[in-house]
Structure 1
Amino acid sequence: MTSGSTAKLHHYVPQGYLRGFATGQERITAIPLDRARKPFTTSVKNVAAQTHFHTVEGHEEPDAFEKALGSVEGDAIGLIRRMQGGEFPLPEEDRMALSFYLALQAVRGPDTRRTMENLQAKITRVEVGAGGRKNVGKWIRNSLGFDATAEQEQFVWDEATQPGGPPIKFSNLAHIRHMVGTAEDLAKYFETRPWLLVRFDKRSLITSDAPVSLIAKPTEEPWQGVGFGTAWGIAFPITRKLGLLMSDPMVMIEQFELDDPRIQTVRAAAISGRFDRVETGSTKMERLFNEYSAANAREYVYRHPDDAAFVPDELPEPTLVNMEVGGFTDTEFDGKPWFPAATSPVPAEAD
């Protein structure tokens, strides 16, 4: 039994956010990274969405989480409107609420779900393959809870040890739990950074289906990667005329020892907005935002229909997962156990 109407089309980039890059009639231009497809202009309700992306089957209200997200998004859009109107820095409570919204936006897309599935598939591949063909039955019993027939054992072995691992699909509930938990952990990396609000007049910003971008330190090599805790900056285009750049907090505390109480003083000052500032947008700043927005896109770049001139010439190929694991996970298995005396580990269950 459900209460009220159930929403079917669920956005992983909020419509309220996309309206900041659309016309007054809510028209926005989508640029597919797939070169075989041409850009198109449509309503914001038609982009960055999938059918039943957050539906929890069997729940009394299957789209309860979608409605909860709508509340979080509505509050965040209200904060953005206040920033557009000149209120900055935000009060601490509002800063923390917006930080959670940004962190949530960083991990809620289909690429995050596909990455989870890809990692779990590779982990399962190693678990089964390393245990050896003769131990597949034991792995099935420990992991899946039943005694398999010979045919079932062979099927699991073939599926699990194929390149890339078995076809694993996470449920919407597992994705939701991962999304919320990860966002709660990541929010601190947003709220404790100095915030630079950049206001543009003549130039404009674009966005994408993954609008939170990490900017590596200039001294880092590309192979080193970049994370929320190590990034020189975190960039988020708020609207086509407003960008938020969260800079490296380490420059303010790197002279202190880890146990120095002054670190907590600096942290508190950052959260209070004492280091925040506003800047008029320049061509250099516009290019920084737009180049990172384009580079971080997964399948689509979005822009106002009048802002074609601000899309970088070079766009990346589509990125369906945001992290790949190679090395030993790609090992070919010959059926012999890696550790003959050991039993295969039991993987964590996915809801």
Structure 2
Amino acid sequence: MSKFYLKGFANDSGYIRRVSLPGRPVIPLSIGDASVIKDFYTVTLPDGTQSDFFEKEFSKIESLAAEALANILAGAWPIVGKHRAALATWVALQHLRSEDVRANQGSFSAEMIRLIVGVSGKEALRSLIQKSEARVISDEELDWEWRDITKPGGPDLVPTADRHVRLLMNLLPGTSAYLHDCHWTLFRFARRSIATSDHPVSLVVAPDHPDWQGVGIATAELFLVPLSRRTALTIQPRRRFSSPSIDASSVPDFVKEGTTSIARSINQETAARARKYIYHHPEEAPLDGLYMPSPETRTKFAASNASELIREEGLFHGLTEKQLRGLEAATPPGESSRGMTIDDLPWPLPGRRFKARE
């Protein structure tokens, strides 16, 4: 969490109130203490040393964004040029750097491993382990490995900074450009108070959004970002304005006076998207009457329903050579018929959390 950002929710002494989901405990905290997550982006280099290079790079982004935010809070709107680019990059960074994105990346990897192993079958897993470890494993050990890897959700993987930073750096330029070109609306509140959280960028979807589809950068109808205790920003894809009579690219950014109902809606979305903590001004109560989720009931990465594909004998066991060739011929032109197989999996599985064998 950026220290310059939390300052907009603090009192003159630099303190905010931190609310732990689902509402307790509530403690006063300095913005310096609230902004610290130690070594979250420390990565391991090929020689085994630790580097905080990305922490320093992200601080440069924050420095530019701080200037843009200061201009907005001083009354400037709309913002253009380097200030718009800086704030768009910072918003993209706040979303991509979140613990949710890191956790979901680990969950996605675990699901992929589960599917690859489950489709390949038990004997293929035995071959992978024995080849990698240069030893013969017992049936009991194979049974345990099979159960642990193919259980719902897949193997337990510890999300790593290295993988997270790699994903972040791949997605940051495109996400920043996408947000930069969206339509922005600024809400200013004269009396109502706005809260923020440890996940300050909320991706909001339409009421009729299918539950199975998930919510991501491309599917969100609205990006919601509290900017201070009296200011909030919404970023909307310009497709919302498309019509035969409107050139969406010509619609200017709006500024609107915030109302009680808008403030309540913003605070509820912020609370619902928080991971562990909500932050607000210590002399105000913007969370009164809102639903406060517990961390355990928040929306998590949706596990795939791949159980029917997981078979000890392997998904393609019993097929003839002719049938296998038929499957290969059915592959769409230009696509690889091989894809990723169990032979491509590294062993031991990187980041796997050790669990005692039953």
What TM-score results when the alignment is normalised by the length of structure 1?
0.81
Residue 278 (structure 2) pairs with residue 301 (structure 1): yes
Q: Structure 1 residue 321: deviation in Å? A: 6.6
Tell me what 1:33 maps to: 21
> Which amino acid counterpart does residue 65 of structure 1 have in structure 2?
F
Q: Aligned equivalents of 1:70 and 1:141: distance in 2?
A: 46
Q: Aligned equivalents of 1:167 and 1:309: distance in 2?
A: 38
Secondary structure, aligned partner of 1:308: coil
Q: Aligned equivalents of 1:20 and 1:149: distance in 2?
A: 61
> Which amino acid counterpart does residue 47 of structure 1 have in structure 2?
A
Q: Structure 1 residue 99: deviation in Å? A: 1.0
Q: Aligned equivalents of 1:86 and 1:73: distance in 2?
A: 20
Q: State whether residues 196 and 246 of structure 1, in contact with CA within 8 Å, keep that contact through their aligned partners in structure 2.
A: yes
> Which amino acid counterpart does residue 60 of structure 2 have in structure 1?
S
Tell me what 1:66 maps to: 55
Tell me what 2:303 maps to: 325
Secondary structure, aligned partner of 1:196: strand
Deviations 1:44-88 (A, max 9, x none): 232354331111234777212111111111111111001111222
Q: Structure 1 residue 332: deviation in Å? A: 8.8
Residue 100 (structure 2) pairs with residue 111 (structure 1): yes
Q: State whether residues 118 and 168 of structure 1, in contact with CA within 8 Å, keep that contact through their aligned partners in structure 2.
A: yes
Q: State whether residues 27 and 43 of structure 1, in contact with CA within 8 Å, keep that contact through their aligned partners in structure 2.
A: yes
Residue 344 (structure 2) pairs with residue 346 (structure 1): yes
Tell me what 1:18 maps to: 6
Deviations 1:288-323 (A, max 9, x none): 211111111111111111121444421122157742
Q: Structure 1 residue 34: deviation in Å? A: 4.1
Residue 88 (structure 2) pairs with residue 99 (structure 1): yes
Q: State whether residues 205 and 289 of structure 1, in contact with CA within 8 Å, keep that contact through their aligned partners in structure 2.
A: yes
Distance 1:226 1:55, change over 3 A: closer
Q: State whether residues 30 and 41 of structure 1, in contact with CA within 8 Å, keep that contact through their aligned partners in structure 2.
A: yes
The runs of 5 or more residues in structure 1 that have no matched partner are: 1-12, 257-261
Tell me what 1:335 maps to: 312
Aligned residues: 323
Deviations 1:234-260 (A, max 9, x none): 21101111111123411333439xxxx
Residue 37 (structure 2) pairs with residue 50 (structure 1): yes
Q: Aligned equivalents of 2:110 and 2:135: distance in 1?
A: 20
Deviations 1:306-344 (A, max 9, x none): 12144442112215774222311x459552211126864
Distance 1:160 1:44, change over 3 A: same
Q: State whether residues 189 and 228 of structure 1, in contact with CA within 8 Å, keep that contact through their aligned partners in structure 2.
A: no
Higher mean Cα deviation, 92-101 or 335-344? 335-344
Q: State whether residues 204 and 222 of structure 2, in contact with CA within 8 Å, keep that contact through their aligned partners in structure 1.
A: yes
> Which amino acid counterpart does residue 82 of structure 2 have in structure 1?
E
Secondary structure, aligned partner of 1:150: coil
The runs of 5 or more residues in structure 2 that have no matched partner are: 325-340, 352-358
Q: Aligned equivalents of 2:163 and 2:278: distance in 1?
A: 27
What TM-score results when the alignment is normalised by the length of structure 2?
0.79
> Which amino acid counterpart does residue 302 of structure 1 have in structure 2?
Y
Secondary structure, aligned partner of 2:126: helix
Deviations 1:96-126 (A, max 9, x none): 2211110111121222211111111121112
- Picking from 151, 175, 185, the partner of 1:196 is 185
Q: Aligned equivalents of 2:58 and 2:129: distance in 1?
A: 37
Q: State whether residues 137 and 147 of structure 1, in contact with CA within 8 Å, keep that contact through their aligned partners in structure 2.
A: no
Q: Which residues in structure 2 correspond to 1:178-217 (within 5 Å)?
A: 178-217=167-206
Q: Aligned equivalents of 1:141 and 1:87: distance in 2?
A: 65
